[in-house]
A and B are shown apart, each in its own frame.
Chain A
Amino acid sequence: MSTDTDDAPFAESEETPFTDIDLGWEHRKNRIFLGIIFAASMFGVVMLALLLLDVVTDFYRGQTEFGISLIDFFTRDGSRRQELAGFRGAIVASVMLMIFTAILAFFVGVGSAIYLEEYAPDNRVTRLIEANLANLAGVPSIVYGLLALAAFVNGIGLGPILLAGAIALALLVMPIIIVSTQEALRAVPDSMRNGSYATGATKWQTIRGVVLPAAMPGIMTGTILALARAIGETAPLIMVGALFTNRIAWGPFDRFSAMPTQIYNWAAEPEPHFIHLAATGIAVLLAFLFAMNGIAIYLRNKYERDL
């Protein structure tokens, strides 16, 4: 309809220099472009919806047609017998992996972010470190798995244990934690730092008493999102040598199979029952992911207002 109002005046006044331009076409291009970018942004949403629908359908079929009992699923370990197979060992291992990954990655990640943001001079070395961090964040996860295999599993002879998996995952998420911590630190206004200095506080007192508490919600959010990425990683754990059938890992020095690796191994079995066990496992893994993302969003919303 806007085309009509635009076209009308030019049709009457022929001496204007723009008469040969078809504005109707220009407006159509405008609408076509809008349509394309809207479709592009909806693409991800539709794909996610399809994925979730697929997971929910397979989960439902697993419950009804294959009689997978959730109670058994949560209280049994893996098995060759499909009706005896459960997910308990994988869940325990994944939770332990998250704990050890968090311990390993958090302090190093936050420490290096504080150095880079608060202390490091703006020189070539700092820029080199920052460029390396950006590159590290883009390294495929399997490469971290190979590194952990070569350096820790075989190199220092740790063996394919849970701790080695946690090290691989910690290496993987550390750049994410560093970058998100840097952003959280940058978001703390300089006026707060200057106020602290004005009372005579040292730099470390300022960081510990003022900057870190103010940035902590952002740091926690970034860390939880990083761990949410780590919990779904399969390739590094397969490289490190996860078990093919999940068993409870009692400590960091036990062999393990985490949720994604157990799903991967079930999906490779021929029997449809195992495929639906894998689907049930995917539903559980997604529930973990949603819970972790939910906590991150909650933390962000809660503390954003307080600051």
Chain B
Amino acid sequence: MTDNTSETGRIGMTSRRGFLVGTGAAGITALAGCSAGGSDGPSGTIDASGSNTVAPITSWAGENFENEYPDVLVDVAPEGTGAGFQEFCRGNSAVQSASREITEDEIGLCEEEDVDYGFIEVGLDGLSVVKNSENDWVDNITLDELQQIWEFESDVETWSDVRSEWPDEDMELHARDDASGTFDYFTEAINGELGNIRDDYSATSQTNEIMNAVASNEHGFGWGGLGYLRAIEDDQPIEAVPVESDADGEFYLPEQENIEEGTYSPLARPLFAYINLASLEEEPDLIGSFARFYVNNQHDFARDEGFYATTDEAQEANHDKIDDWLDQVGSDPDDITVQRA
């Protein structure tokens, strides 16, 4: 599958709120301030779209923000990065969680719809390659073997097709579908081209389903965001496979130190939140405060949800970006309720 077909596929499966959009954006933004109460501080509704992987962090940030400012409602819809950008670039969401950077096609869509945006780096994710705990033959896997298994028109059907000493049994392959940034990241990092993947695996938009499928079948094999593995690995027969590092050729598990030190590579990736600058201009205190609040606590939010913290430099860079955006839309960063911590 080429980059192009993957994009069309994504446009075809634009999610619920993007469907039949028309005049929707105006209505949603007009209503955003309606439930506002009388007390001080930010109030209104923040619609967030985006990555199924990053949504837990944004959702947790939103919930903490709601607890701090009761007049705010943050709704985070976890439809996948690609599907989410379709919403975001049409102005249907103010915040977009993303497990990869915006693509050329999406930049084009945003320009077409006149949506100006910026992004912050909110955490690091390890992409885990998972197998069933009953599987005692796979001790590690190289990047070439992963490509051999997953690339377009792959002829790998059984374990022994990968390494001859592995059993001659069919592999059951489970992974994300092309609505997700995880999909885009994996295909680019492993198969060398965004959207390049075999077409006969079980594709789903829910990482959950991948983990459950692999945990329930000895021959299950797949990949997905690490947070979902961490959530069930203590209760269910599923574990991560050590993957070859492109840094030093050794095999590493997706552990905190390996990811934060950069040896678990290329399957560790930065996670982003995109901010719609038109929404920021409309409600600088609401959106600006949320962005500031998110960045102030980003290390905690990421770790609370089973991800890894960015460097402190990345956090500072995020703060500087928010200052710039506020200047750009004509608001004084010092007037925003939530200040840089």
Partner-B contacts on A (CB < 8 A): 79-81, 146, 149-150, 153-161, 238-239, 241, 243-245, 247, 250, 253-255, 268-272
Mask for B191-231, Cβ within 8 A of A = 1, else 0?
A: 00000000000000011100100000000000000011001
Are A239 and B16 in contact, with the CB atoms below 8 A? yes
Of the residues B17, B35, B207, contact of A241 by C-beta under 8 Å: B17
List chain A residues, Cβ under 8 A from B30: 157, 159
CB distance from A243 to the nearest CB of B (A): 5
Of the residues B27, B35, B77, B228, contact of A270 by C-beta under 8 Å: B228
List chain A residues, Cβ under 8 A from B232: 270-272
Are B35 and A154 in contact, with the CB atoms below 8 A? no
- Known A-B contacts A158-B27, A159-B31, A270-B232; the reply to A241 vs B16 at CB < 8 A is yes
Judge whether B330 is part of the interface by a CB distance below 8 angstroms: no
How many residues on chain B are close to A (CB under 8 Å)?
36
Are A154 and B24 in contact, with the CB atoms below 8 A? yes
Are B22 and A154 in contact, with the CB atoms below 8 A? yes
Judge whether B45 is part of the interface by a CB distance below 8 angstroms: yes
Chain B stretch 58-72: residues in CB contact (< 8 A) with chain A: 59-60, 63, 66
Are B20 and A154 in contact, with the CB atoms below 8 A? yes
- Known A-B contacts A245-B59, A255-B73; the reply to A269 vs B208 at CB < 8 A is yes
Give Cα A158 to B24, complex, Å: 8
- Known A-B contacts A157-B30, A159-B31; the reply to A244 vs B20 at CB < 8 A is no
Of the residues A146, A153, A254, A269, contact of B35 by C-beta under 8 Å: A254
Are B23 and A159 in contact, with the CB atoms below 8 A? no
Of B16, B21, B45, B232, the most chain A CB neighbours within 10 A belong to B16
Judge whether B76 is part of the interface by a CB distance below 8 angstroms: yes
List chain A residues, Cβ under 8 A from B45: 255
Judge whether B42 is part of the interface by a CB distance below 8 angstroms: no
Are A157 and B23 in contact, with the CB atoms below 8 A? yes
List chain A residues, Cβ under 8 A from B75: 243-245, 255
Are A161 and B31 in contact, with the CB atoms below 8 A? yes
List chain B residues, Cβ under 8 A from A255: 35, 45, 73, 75
Judge whether B19 is part of the interface by a CB distance below 8 angstroms: yes
Judge whether B235 is part of the interface by a CB distance below 8 angstroms: yes
CB distance from B293 to the nearest CB of A (A): 15
Of the residues A150, A238, A271, contact of B20 by C-beta under 8 Å: A150
5 A-B contact pairs sorted by A residue (CB < 8 Å): A149-B19, A157-B28, A243-B75, A255-B35, A272-B235
Judge whether B56 is part of the interface by a CB distance below 8 angstroms: yes
| Closest chain A residue to B227, Cβ basis | A270
List chain B residues, Cβ under 8 A from A153: 24, 27
Give Cα A284 to B78, complex, Å: 26
List chain A residues, Cβ under 8 A from B78: 244
- Known A-B contacts A250-B35, A270-B228, A272-B235; the reply to A149 vs B56 at CB < 8 A is no
Judge whether B317 is part of the interface by a CB distance below 8 angstroms: no
Of the residues B23, B34, B73, B228, contact of A154 by C-beta under 8 Å: B23
CB distance from B130 to the nearest CB of A (A): 12
Give Cα A160 to B73, complex, Å: 13
CB distance from A200 to the nearest CB of B (A): 54
Secondary structure call for the B interface? helix
| Closest chain A residue to B48, Cβ basis | A244
| Closest chain A residue to B208, Cβ basis | A270
Are B16 and A149 in contact, with the CB atoms below 8 A? yes
Judge whether B26 is part of the interface by a CB distance below 8 angstroms: yes
| Closest chain B residue to A239, Cβ basis | B16
Give Cα A272 to B231, complex, Å: 8
Give Cα A149 to B76, complex, Å: 19
Are B27 and A154 in contact, with the CB atoms below 8 A? yes
Of the residues B16, B27, B227, B231, contact of A157 by C-beta under 8 Å: B27
Give Cα A151 to B231, complex, Å: 40
Chain B stretch 1-45: residues in CB contact (< 8 A) with chain A: 16-17, 19-24, 26-28, 30-31, 34-35, 45
List chain A residues, Cβ under 8 A from B208: 268-270
Of the residues A244, A247, A253, A272, contact of B77 by C-beta under 8 Å: A244
List chain B residues, Cβ under 8 A from A154: 20-24, 27
List chain A residues, Cβ under 8 A from B34: 253
Mask for B154-186, Cβ within 8 A of A = 1, else 0?
A: 000000000000000000000000000000000
List chain A residues, Cβ under 8 A from B23: 154-155, 157
- Known A-B contacts A154-B21, A239-B16; the reply to A159 vs B28 at CB < 8 A is yes
CB distance from A143 to the nearest CB of B (A): 13
List chain A residues, Cβ under 8 A from B31: 157-159, 161, 253
List chain A residues, Cβ under 8 A from B28: 157, 159-160
List chain B residues, Cβ under 8 A from A239: 16
List chain B residues, Cβ under 8 A from A160: 17, 28
Mask for B88-122, Cβ within 8 A of A = 1, else 0?
A: 00000000000000000000000000000000000
CB distance from A184 to the nearest CB of B (A): 37
CB distance from B265 to the nearest CB of A (A): 25
Give Cα A154 to B31, complex, Å: 12
CB distance from A33 to the nearest CB of B (A): 40
List chain B residues, Cβ under 8 A from A250: 35
List chain B residues, Cβ under 8 A from A155: 22-23
Give Cα A222 to B121, complex, Å: 55
Are B24 and A238 in contact, with the CB atoms below 8 A? no
Give Cα A250 to B71, complex, Å: 12
CB distance from B127 to the nearest CB of A (A): 15
Are B59 and A80 in contact, with the CB atoms below 8 A? yes
Give Cα A161 to B59, complex, Å: 20
CB distance from A60 to the nearest CB of B (A): 18
| Closest chain B residue to A273, Cβ basis | B231
Are A149 and B20 in contact, with the CB atoms below 8 A? yes
Are A146 and B19 in contact, with the CB atoms below 8 A? yes
CB distance from B174 to the nearest CB of A (A): 14
